[in-house]
Amino acid sequence: MEPPVTDACRLPTAAPIRVLVVDDHPMMREGIVAVLARQDDMVVVGQAADGAEAIDMFRSVRPDITLMDVQMRGLGGIEAIEQIRAEAPAAQIVVLTTYPGDTLALRALRAGAAGYLLKSCIRKDLLDTIRAVHGGRRAIAPEVAQDIALHATEDRLNEREIRILSLVAEGQANKQIAWQMALSTDTIKAHLKTIFTKLDVADRTHAVVMAARRGFIQI
């Protein structure tokens, strides 16, 4: 007869992955929390609705993984990532976003994110992404990685060009933009011509759409 298995003989159970969920949409947070609650190896230790709250919550609960929305009211996700990583360089953060744009992804990765996941892929890829990042690997959505590679050698918009395009997106005419930026109308036209070339578009509308898709501006 085999001896009974005592508590001293049992193998230790791995601690669950402690997750902080940050998103400014309550339904999105609730959906993610519900998915994680069904996993034996994960536990939600906190929720936050904006970047500032995320930083405070991170300090309080010290999660293993932070799921961070990028575009939120108030302090945005990228700024929150920068502050969290400044305080805790080993923090493991996965970005959740609606936008596959290469510029937004690069900003997040440079800020210190270890994962980048599209919200449209949450149901399919969220759990594997969390486990991969917790295991010390990077996890970037294939669509995003492809976009980054596709535009890697292109000239990027500079700060002035992004500012001009943001004003164009607000519906402002060249004269209004020139007045706001203390530039001549001809200078604004010249900048727009350069913007069109960099984005490979032919007009203002397509420039705004392409810049938003790639993450240069928000609309």
Q: Tell me the pLDDT tens digit for each residue of 144-203.
A: 887 777 666 567 788 898 899 899 999 999 999 999 999 899 999 999 999 898 888 899
Contacts of 69 (CB under 8 A, 6+ apart): 22, 23, 24, 25, 28, 77, 95, 96, 97
Checking if the pLDDT of 4 tops 60, the result is no
Task: Identify the CATH number of the domain in which residue 167 sits.
Answer: 1.10.10.10
In the beta sheet, which residues pair with residue 65?
Answer: 19, 92
76 in the same domain as 97: yes
CA-closest candidate to residue 64, choices 32, 23, 31, 93: 93
Q: What CA–CA distance (Å, rounded) separates 138 from 4? A: 43
Task: Identify the CATH number of the domain in which residue 104 sits.
Answer: 3.40.50.2300
- Is 64 a member of any domain? yes
Question: pLDDT at position 120, please?
Answer: 87
First CA to last CA distance, the chain: 72
117 in the same domain as 21: yes
Contacts of 197 (CB under 8 A, 6+ apart): none
7-21, 32-46, 81-95, 151-165: the lowest-pLDDT one: 7-21
Higher model confidence: residue 213 or residue 60? 60
Checking if the pLDDT of 86 tops 90, the result is yes
Please report, for the chain, how many H helices and E strands are present, in that order: 10, 6
What is the per-residue pLDDT across 117-143, written as a single tens digit (0 to 9) for each?
A: 988 888 889 999 999 999 999 998 887
169 in the same domain as 106: no
145 in the same domain as 110: yes
Count the Cβ atoms, other than its own, within 10 Å of residue 88: 15
Query: Which residues constitute the domain of residue 137?
Result: 17-150
Higher model confidence: residue 144 or residue 87? 87
Q: Which residue has the tokens 């599209």?
A: 118
Amino acid at 138: R
Question: pLDDT at position 98, please?
Answer: 83
111 in the same domain as 46: yes
